[in-house]
């Protein structure tokens, strides 16, 4: 079952990206290295509700 998740920057706490994930394959929270337009650099983004 795929669900929508929101990715939040760990530095500035802004919600920047929406994505989908399969809860069956990845039950833990997602962490991705993405570009934050507020910090203006690549940072770690983690899943929020």
How many Å separate Cα 27 from the centre of its chain? Answer: 14
pLDDT band at 49 (very low <50, low <70, confident <90, very high): confident
Assign residue 28 the CATH number of its domain: 2.20.28.120
Structural domain count of the chain = 1
User: Using one digit for the tens of pLDDT, what is the confidence trace for 1-46?
Assistant: 899 999 999 999 999 999 999 999 999 999 999 999 999 999 999 9
Q: Residue count of the chain, please give it.
A: 49
Instruction: Please give the Cα distance from 5 to 19 (Å, whole number).
Output: 5
Q: Which domain holds residue 33?
A: 2-48
Q: Say which residues have a Cβ less than 8 Å from residue 45's Cβ, sequence separation at least 6.
A: 7, 8, 9, 10, 16, 17, 31, 32, 33, 34, 36
């Amino acid at each position: 079952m795929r669900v929508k998740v929101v990715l939040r920057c760990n530095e500035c706490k802004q919600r920047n990206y929406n994505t989908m994930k399969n809860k069956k394959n990845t039950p833990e929270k997602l962490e991705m290295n993405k570009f934050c337009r507020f910090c203006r650099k690549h940072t770690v983004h983690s899943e929020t509700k």
